[in-house]
A and B are shown apart, each in its own frame.
Chain A
């Protein structure tokens, strides 16, 4: 049977068909829907872990029992999980163990565009690079097989265009692999130096065996076309190159580490010139060049940004097409109408605080007009960066600065930084904007919600309890809907010596039903534009009369009814609308 599946849906399906029994992940674009799809298969025990390191270790533990286990994360997630990833390469597996890394070239929703194919080489594990959803499914199954055959974790490397493209997939049935039970094997799983020295020798041998396997692996295949141009490619780049050079010969690599050296040499001998077409870094290109083969690659194809068929065609075109793109105002994402983060950012701006930020929806508070976030490095770096600044500049800095992160980010990697700040006598205010979900990635539950991945009730671990447990003496939980409350809470927390934690708690607007929308009375509105400073997409300015200043209007179809604009309006012009039907629809 055939079905339309996204790459992420196909990985989930592949895991299910391959008999996988345990899955753990932390949400992160573009990987999130892998676990979201796995959750729909009752045979797999699936959980949202608090971070990627935890997820990888949970899946690794499961594989010790002989069951097949998978973990999925975005590219930067593998940085968090790198520690167990490298040593799992040494200890090897019992049941098949697959690590999915979803890279984000072009940074659609990421802080960098690192190429995680380096990780497979660095950790000496095989890498699969599917080029569409059907391959994503097949390679997930193969990854489990190869993991067990060669006693190694396998890195399944996806990119945004694989994860979020939908293609036709051939579906199969599930094969069961029951657990073998737990058997102590310290030489394998206890990475003491004495054991690890021996294991290192084993994995160097494993790489040689994998290299031999790569030579005859049928998905590393030559597709003969005309012999004057040969293209070596992998992943999504294969699809682009197929469109740009329909008549060329192709060496399509799917198991891209270790590379099939002899197959590459055979291909190179048969074609006149070779292009290596890859997105991101010159990884295949470097390895092919090391075989003494002359190729064209990154000297033409950009290393920065996402590759597209357009960019690929342009890279090899002699005529440089002039970009005649006229200026079109950009439309970056914004905080939603009714977002509980908006009042917090509004007050931080008003108080002129230095805001040491973090990663989540609230990072959008950095954009105009709120413009109230100064830094964003990685998950959890808000509290630690703020602590470092305070150590450099003195306790006074802590009085005019805050660290801010979301609830899910707090569980991910904010807690260790908080313990560190308390222990090392820091003076800082940590603001947790708690919207009761992992909003940016599409509302996954976390320990603060007390809900499990499948929707069942788990045990709730509230952030205020954790903060107190970390030794924080000042902890305050405030509803952010009232601006006066928010401002007062900031002032009190900032006045506290030592570490204070301020939790602004109200569920994400997308999880609530909108209330009665507000309405701007044109008789009272003076056109002062104060309300425009909160950056709500439901508010805009209209010219009722060419001679007068433009007046504010609210789109009732977008208004959430939070009333923040009414709180900032000094003319009392913004009121709850009596009925919505009489209003203009923008």
Chain B
């Protein structure tokens, strides 16, 4: 009986690397493919030799609810959750969700937003109002890039590529090898959609130029 399975870390391995850890918040509305996008990002970061942690929530949150995933990578990552005011990037699939999670971005961080409004049920039935001046509110927070990913996805003939187009935009700001991204898409996307998603990813990359 081997009750002492291999576990001991050296003291060096206990030391986190908070300063050099990259923090990325991906948010949007359940059903937009946020989890898949964060899976591709994690796989690519892992292929680049990083320690990676990602946190998300399933269940109720997938029925059109607000969805946030936290992705962190670096030499050694402890918490899977990003602290407010420390995210290098927010990749938002919808503007209201960008506003909701804006508190996560650090002062010099960047916000990439899909230029799209999806009113929540409270707005649809008139119980609440969609913020009128949302673009101005978002812009106040610093570096921001609006992307019309839905339009680009329709150009590709498949609305479901929105997530990978947006990931392509984000990829312009990461120094990952192209092969890491391609492999990450292959590992996470159904075989028959791999080619389409690689095209979508490249399309996103071009937008960011």
B52 contacts A4, C-beta separation under 8 Å: yes
Q: Which residue of B lies closest to A337 (CB)?
A: B64
A168 contacts B51, C-beta separation under 8 Å: yes
Q: CA of A161 to CA of B29 in the docked complex: distance in angstroms?
A: 20
- Can you list 6 contacts pairing A with B, beta carbon distance less than 8 Å? A4-B42, A108-B59, A165-B80, A168-B46, A329-B96, A329-B129
Within 8 A of B (CB), among A148-203: 148-149, 160-161, 164-168
Judged by a CB distance under 8 angstroms, whether A240 is at the interface is yes
Task: Give min CB distance, B61 to chain A, whole Å.
Answer: 6
Q: CA of A160 to CA of B56 in the docked complex: distance in angstroms?
A: 9
B63 contacts A336, C-beta separation under 8 Å: yes
Judged by a CB distance under 8 angstroms, whether B20 is at the interface is no
A440 contacts B124, C-beta separation under 8 Å: no
Within 8 A of B (CB), among A492-549: 529, 532-533, 535, 537, 539-541
Instruction: Knowing A333-B63, A334-B65, say if A537 contacts B121 (CB, 8 Å).
Output: yes
The interface residues of chain A lying within 8 Å CB-to-CB of B79 are 239-240, 242-243, 309
B78 contacts A330, C-beta separation under 8 Å: no
A333 contacts B52, C-beta separation under 8 Å: no
Task: Give min CB distance, A339 to chain B, whole Å.
Answer: 9
The interface residues of chain A lying within 8 Å CB-to-CB of B129 are 329
Which one, B7, B60, B100, contacts A138 given CB within 8 A?
B7
Judged by a CB distance under 8 angstroms, whether B43 is at the interface is yes
Within 8 A of A (CB), among B44-74: 46, 51-66
B63 contacts A141, C-beta separation under 8 Å: no
Interface size class of A (residues with CB under 8 A): 35 or more
B18 contacts A246, C-beta separation under 8 Å: yes
B18 contacts A223, C-beta separation under 8 Å: no
The interface residues of chain B lying within 8 Å CB-to-CB of A325 are 103
Within 8 A of B (CB), among A278-298: none
B2 contacts A145, C-beta separation under 8 Å: yes
Judged by a CB distance under 8 angstroms, whether B132 is at the interface is no
Instruction: Knowing A333-B30, A585-B154, say if A537 contacts B78 (CB, 8 Å).
Output: no
Which one, B1, B56, B125, contacts A145 given CB within 8 A?
B1
Judged by a CB distance under 8 angstroms, whether B84 is at the interface is yes
Within 8 A of B (CB), among A567-586: 585
| A interface residues with partner B (beta carbon < 8 Å) | 4, 29-30, 32-33, 108-109, 132, 138, 141-142, 145-146, 148-149, 160-161, 164-168, 213, 217-219, 221, 223-224, 236, 239-240, 242-243, 246, 250, 308-310, 313, 325-326, 328-336, 361, 364, 367-369, 440-442, 529, 532-533, 535, 537, 539-541, 557, 585
Judged by a CB distance under 8 angstroms, whether B8 is at the interface is yes
B60 contacts A108, C-beta separation under 8 Å: yes
Instruction: Knowing A142-B5, A336-B63, say if A330 contacts B120 (CB, 8 Å).
Output: yes
A218 contacts B8, C-beta separation under 8 Å: yes
The interface residues of chain B lying within 8 Å CB-to-CB of A540 are 119, 124
B61 contacts A109, C-beta separation under 8 Å: yes
Within 8 A of A (CB), among B147-199: 150, 154, 159
The interface residues of chain A lying within 8 Å CB-to-CB of B78 are 239-240, 242-243
Q: CA of A146 to CA of B4 in the docked complex: distance in angstroms?
A: 10
Which one, A141, A333, A368, contacts B62 given CB within 8 A?
A333
The interface residues of chain A lying within 8 Å CB-to-CB of B43 are 4
Task: Give min CB distance, B186 to chain A, whole Å.
Answer: 14
Instruction: Knowing A142-B3, A310-B83, say if A165 contacts B53 (CB, 8 Å).
Output: yes
Q: Which residue of A lies closest to B62 (CB)?
A: A333
The interface residues of chain A lying within 8 Å CB-to-CB of B3 are 142, 145-146, 149, 213, 217
Task: Give min CB distance, B46 to chain A, whole Å.
Answer: 5
Which one, A164, A328, A364, contacts B55 given CB within 8 A?
A164
The interface residues of chain B lying within 8 Å CB-to-CB of A243 are 16, 18, 78-79, 83
A309 contacts B54, C-beta separation under 8 Å: no
Interface centre among A165, A223, A250, A535 (most CB of B within 10 A): A165
